Amino acid sequence: MIPVLHAETLRFGWPGAAPCIDIERLEIAAGEAVFLHGPSGCGKSTLLSLLAGVLVAGAGRVTLLGQDWAALSGSARDRHRVAHVGYIFQQFNLLPYLSVLDNVMLPCRFSTRRMAQASHDGPARREAEQLLDRMGLDASLWQRQAMQLSVGQQQRVAAARALIGQPELVIADEPTSALDEDRREAFLDVLLAACKAKHSALVFVSHDQRIAARFGRHILLPAINRAAAGAAA
Amino acid sequence: MKALFAIAWRSAWNRRFTLALTVLSIALSTFLLLGVERIRTELRENFSSSVSGTDLIVGARTGSSQLLLYSVFRIGAATNNMQWKSVQALAEHPGVRWVVPLSLGDSHRGFAVLATTPAYFDHFRYGDRQALQLREGKPFAELFDAVVGAEVADRLGYHVGQKITLAHGSGELNAAEHADKPFTVVGVLARTGTPVDRTVHIGLPAMEAIHLEWAGGAPMPGLKIPAEQVRKFDLTPKTVTAALVGLQNRAAVFAVQRWVSTYPAEALMAILPGVALDELWSVVGMGENALLLMSALVALVSLAGLVSVVMAGLNERRRELAVLRAVGASLRHVLALLALEGALVTLLGVAIGVVFAVLGIALLSPWLQAQFGLTLRLSEPTLNEWILLASLLAAGWLASLLPGVRAYRLSLADGLSPRI
């Protein structure tokens, strides 16, 4: 079975700077929940950009579902990404002028594959509603404008959006850093359960060790990144 | 792409107040540019339409602009007059169809007085060879009859039957009044948008009559000739200021011009009104260039305003674009979104500006006519105005693209995680 993500002899440096990523090998299997952690500045965001095909590695290769990012043109990378990857930011995930439901539906509007998968049984709208329901968002909120929601609610809408149309990979870039402890736990509960139900692999980036126990696999970035080993100490 | 339009619309609606400001600023600059351009062309149009249908203007030898200025625009005064005998000789020339003598020099409450013959009303043409129309009354027939231009009548509230007195020389306040010989307004001319509107017309014999007891520009002391006795005198003028000439055949214009300039009895000159108008405009046209420069500056300033308004909203958009990228919008989508919005905002602004300009011209033209004697007409845009509109659209669109390109580059650098 092909892994969701596969990287080998991956090296990357910003122009004019020393390499900041140098990873021998990294593999993430289907349905895996991975906790990626490390101090700030160790290259977490850069690694996520490389994995999601936003940045292309200078040397080595990264494949998503067997497809080498470097072999695709810019717009082909955009299409491949939206077809297979859901993305959750730290905060401000939503378009404030769209309704909650429309925000969740966004990936379906840009990707026919996500649309097709979301409308597998019943209309895509139904899946969006089910996901919102699973995230514990009351039906009375669905038609509200996204900017009227609290930060915790917005993050859950973002999670529902990342999961719609069953992407094989969900990348979450410190999604809980703006939440207090109770909301953080609740958010993790629903996110992990939903990823499990949809068989989506989850790469969860955080520097918060307290939530590490919730994940099946831990990756300490400085431990695998030879470029940061010397610099980050 | 259809999804993108829907999102673009919602996004624009969300920023409607900022965008409305941008649209307004484009609309205002369109309005100003069109207004200035229209005033500029109409100014020139008004200027060159002040006389038409006249083949030659003849007067004592002087500069051609000078002759035009006092004979047509009533500006300045003639240094020399031409003899009445010369006018008669001119009228007898076989190539000449009609001669209308003009005698200037007096005024009525700041408006020029023009003494002429009744033929003036038949032969004088302005604009596109339009004849003078009386909006009230009839041309002068009796000795002390006067026909006033539309602006004289409107400004001073004159109607047929009004008694007026003329003053010697020009100027609002003048002690030397011909108060003993009052005139009666018998006609009011319709508006022409030319200096005719600001003129009081009287007959040549009347001009002679009010100056009977005058010599060397001042009344002779002790001599008084009552109005009822002037008819006993010979009221044929000795001199006139200039004469408008119509020819049998326009092709003879240079022959007659040569005949005038070589006229043996006195030094005369004949000018072609069209040529002299163009010459004069090349001097007056300096103001035209200043207007043009001003409108260019206005456009520049409002485009700068447009860029700054869009730039100010950019941080807000930066996050929005990152979210769009994360849910699958490609860079091409983002660029299309920004370009489309810029184009629509510019188009809307220019369209509103055109509506403003049309309304402005429609509402302000009576006031401009009354205040400045400038006729603004609503008409199809001229070629220049089309070019102006097209360049406004292009410049506005480019100006709105500038922040767009910046947003695009930021979203390229941001990747999927905006750093704000």
Cα–Cα distance for residue pair B124/B195, rounded to 1 Å:
12
pLDDT of residue B337: 83
pLDDT of residue B175: 53
pLDDT of residue A232: 42
CB contact under 8 A, B327 and A106: yes
CB contact under 8 A, B323 and A82: no
Interface test with A, best of B417, B419, B420 (most A CBs within 10 A): B417
Mean pLDDT confidence for B222-248 = 83
Token digits of residue A146: 């996204």
Cα–Cα distance for residue pair B116/B207, rounded to 1 Å:
9
Taking only the tens place, the pLDDT of each residue in B255-312 is 999 999 999 989 999 999 888 888 888 877 787 788 778 877 877 887 787 777 777 7
* Burial environment of residue A70 by CB neighbours within 10 A (0 to 12, 13 to 18, 19 or more): middle
Cα–Cα distance for residue pair B356/B350, rounded to 1 Å:
10
CB contact under 8 A, A107 and B328: yes
CB contact under 8 A, A55 and B326: no
Residue written as token pair 């009004």: B162
Average pLDDT, chain A: 86
CB contact under 8 A, B330 and A75: yes
Cα–Cα distance for residue pair A6/A25, rounded to 1 Å:
8
Token digits of residue B198: 């600001």
The answer to whether B71 and B336 are in contact (CB under 8 A) is: no
Average pLDDT, chain B: 83
Non-local CB neighbours of B136 within 8 Å, separated by 6+ positions: B153, B159, B160, B187, B188
Q: Categorize the per-residue pLDDT at B373 as very low, low, confident or very high, splitting at 50, 70 and 90.
A: low
Out of B3, B13, B331, whose CB is closest to A109? B3
Cα–Cα distance for residue pair B221/B206, rounded to 1 Å:
21
pLDDT > 70: percent of chain A: 97
Token digits of residue B319: 């996050």
Identify the closest residue of chain B to A56 by CA–CA distance. Answer: B415
ipTM above 0.90, yes or no: no
Mean pLDDT confidence for B315-338 = 80
Q: Categorize the per-residue pLDDT at A202 as very low, low, confident or very high, splitting at 50, 70 and 90.
A: very high
Out of B13, B322, B416, whose CB is closest to A97? B13
Q: Any idea what the Cα angle at residue A34 is, between residues A33 and A36, rounded to 5°?
A: 155
Taking contacts as CB-CB distances below 8 angstroms, the residues of chain B near A48 are: 416-417
pLDDT of B174 higher than 60: no
Taking the Cβ of residue A172 and every Cβ of chain B, the question of whether any pair is shorter than 8 Å is answered with no
Taking only the tens place, the pLDDT of each residue in A57-95 is 888 889 998 889 889 888 888 889 889 999 888 877 888
Q: Categorize the per-residue pLDDT at B415 as very low, low, confident or very high, splitting at 50, 70 and 90.
A: low
Handedness of CA B221, B223, B224, B230 (dihedral sign): negative
Distance from CA of A144 to the nearest CA of B (A): 14
Taking the Cβ of residue A230 and every Cβ of chain B, the question of whether any pair is shorter than 8 Å is answered with no
Q: Categorize the per-residue pLDDT at B114 as very low, low, confident or very high, splitting at 50, 70 and 90.
A: very high
How far are the Cα atoms of A6, A35, A161, B311 from residue A88, in angstroms, in the given order?
21, 14, 8, 27
Identify the closest residue of chain A to B321 by CA–CA distance. Answer: A95
Identify the closest residue of chain A to B2 by CA–CA distance. Answer: A109
Token digits of residue B68: 């035009």
Least confident residue range of A22-31, B139-148, B320-329, B349-358: B320-329
Nearest to B240 by CA among B27, B59, B32: B59
pLDDT of B148 higher than 90: yes
CB contact under 8 A, A45 and B10: no
